Structure 1
Amino acid sequence: MNDLIPPEDITKWIPGRKTIDSTAQGWRGLTLMGYRYAGLEVEIPPMRDYMIVVYQDADTSMRRRCNGPWQTEKLRPGSISLLTRGEQSTWQWDDAINVRHIYLGHSAISETAAQIFDRDLASIDIADRVCTTDNMIQFCLNMLEQEYSGFGVGECLFIDALRTQLAVHLIRNYADIAIKETHIGTLGSNLRKVVSEYIEESLGDRIHLEDLASIAGLSPFHFSRRFKLEFGVTPHAFVIQRKIKKAKALLLKRDLPLKAIAADCGFSDQSHMNRTFRKVLGITPAEYRRSA
């Protein structure tokens, strides 16, 4: 598809006040935007990504048209609209609305579908929906907002997991496709060792789910499921455990500043390490050092 519009250019077609923009966060295949709009009638161009709109305080009628008659739905807080990629449509609403946009990349859907369902994207149809309710999408939005605000503890690995979770959820619930059953095994002792060693050696860097999955020769979705069977926790939780374990060992060296320990263990800064310690252990690194 040519001339598809990326998320950061949507304001050229839908004028509004931007309230959230995750493009500087470096999330791969996933973007979170927030806007405040007045009542409008707009032509939405063919988008590069699948677009999920979550209405924060809506109480208005939403009308949509795409090569046919208008569809009208009453929107309320928590309502959700889905827009497929690569298709132009007209949307019209009367009242001011406050929204969150979640953009999911084409590769996230196509790769997930190929691995889980043994199909390519040509066999998948995710149609527009003017209004629906979806607790899983709302949950994912809440997690994304926490990460965006700096209150999350998983960074890129957690975002990778959320992206895969959203892709699976959309395909399962909104795509015209039959689900193919798959056998779930474990990683095996050799892969377990290789993956564990990679994580230990990379704690000071950003660890992406795709990087771990490629080591095992699996899709991110299959890797996550097998990893949890093998280790008892998700890859994100395991990495957090290892970061904390390494930090606890370094905290015993009284001459090392907390800032240096945070950097060496892969936390974005000392505050990030403090939040993680408090969330997981109930105490700060400084309190742990004093008690040790």
Structure 2
Amino acid sequence: MSGDGPAWADLFVQVYSRNDNQEPFLVPAVAEPLIVWIMSGQAIVEERDLQGEWLASHVGVDDFFLTRSPTPYEMRWRSTGADPFQVMHLYLSVPLFERVACEVLGRVAPPVLRDISGGKDEQLSHLLALIRQELTAGGKGSHLFIQGLAQSLAVHLIRTYASGETSDDRHNALPGFKLRRAVAHLEEHLAEPFSLAHLAEAVGMSAFHFSRLFKKATGLSPSRHLIRQRIAKAQQLLQETDLSIIEIGTSVGYSSPSHFAQVFRRETGLPPSHYRRG
């Protein structure tokens, strides 16, 4: 479930029902502030810088994470409650954030927001609950109300979580909507040969500029990211279907079973047959 259309120009919102146990995945560095809000369930969520030490947060309903990290990082979690673990991801548009920062703080350069992991904020939860309500309105959400909520959210973040520092130039960061479009394009074409030119064209950028900013955002080249996506899909199919290993390899772009097994083992530490049994 996600917000779309003109009413959601300043917000990108997605609701996810998460697996009970999530293997480590990359949270990319994008230009927009990101809020992750816990809607249901409880979990131990761990975060770390790339190759760093894991730091754990015990979270439940209404807890939240806030980041506008200039570098990608890793996250994983383990559900600890009986209720399904559901979260809402919300990206606040950079133009709105910068405009509100200028009005609230009286300066052009937007502030750095403090990173929050497993925080509690009653006013923030109230705003997010209203946004969720509009998201589930079945096309009946109010344009003006959503705009007002986005502005209120920006004001609250800046008043409450601005660090006092000014941010670096974010114009060299990949906008979140372009990153999401690129990742979706890769997922839709998992079984096809990788083409940087086609991928860059899908997001409306030159291949060189896109490749540089994609790697800055994710820590991986687009082709390396595709391998990660292929193996993640293969893991899902191995666990959730009775397809043969050869069929699974072919469905994620590996016509050679031996090549698929080699890449899978390199990425996961196990051959596909052992991963399925485990």
TM-score (norm 1): 0.49
- The answer on whether the counterparts of 2:11 and 2:91 sit within 8 Å (CA) in structure 1 is yes
Is 1:139 matched up with 2:122? no
SS at match of 1:125: strand
1:47-88 Cα shifts (integer Å, max 9, x gaps): 232111111223221111126532211011221111215431
Is 1:166 matched up with 2:149? no
Equivalent position amino acid for 1:64 in 2: E
Is 1:108 matched up with 2:91? no
- The answer on whether the counterparts of 1:52 and 1:103 sit within 8 Å (CA) in structure 2 is yes
Gaps of 5+ in 1: 1-19, 179-292
Instruction: Determine the C-alpha separation between the residues in 2 that align with 1:141 and 1:70.
Output: 28
Structure 1 vs Structure 2 CA RMSD:
2.3
Instruction: Determine the C-alpha separation between the residues in 1 that align with 2:4 and 2:69.
Output: 19
Equivalent position amino acid for 2:137 in 1: G
Equivalent position amino acid for 1:104 in 2: L
Residue 86 of structure 2 is aligned with which of 98, 113, 120? 98
What residue is the counterpart of 2:56 in the other structure? 72
SS at match of 1:74: strand
Q: What's the % identity of the aligned pairs? A: 23
What residue is the counterpart of 1:23 in the other structure? 4
Is 1:58 matched up with 2:41? yes
1:26-49 Cα shifts (integer Å, max 9, x gaps): 412112210012122111111232
**In 2 relative to 1, CA 90–152 (structure 1 residues): closer, same or farther, beyond 3 Å?**
same
Structure 1 residue 131: deviation in Å? 0.7
1:178-225 Cα shifts (integer Å, max 9, x gaps): 9xxxxxxxxxxxxxxxxxxxxxxxxxxxxxxxxxxxxxxxxxxxxxxx
Equivalent position amino acid for 1:116 in 2: V
What residue is the counterpart of 1:87 in the other structure? 71
Equivalent position amino acid for 2:68 in 1: T
What is the correspondence of 1:1-292 to structure 2 with a 5 Å cutoff? 20-24=1-5, 26-38=7-19, 39-40=21-22, 41-66=24-49, 68-95=52-79, 97-121=85-109, 124-150=111-137, 155-177=142-164
- The answer on whether the counterparts of 1:63 and 1:130 sit within 8 Å (CA) in structure 2 is no
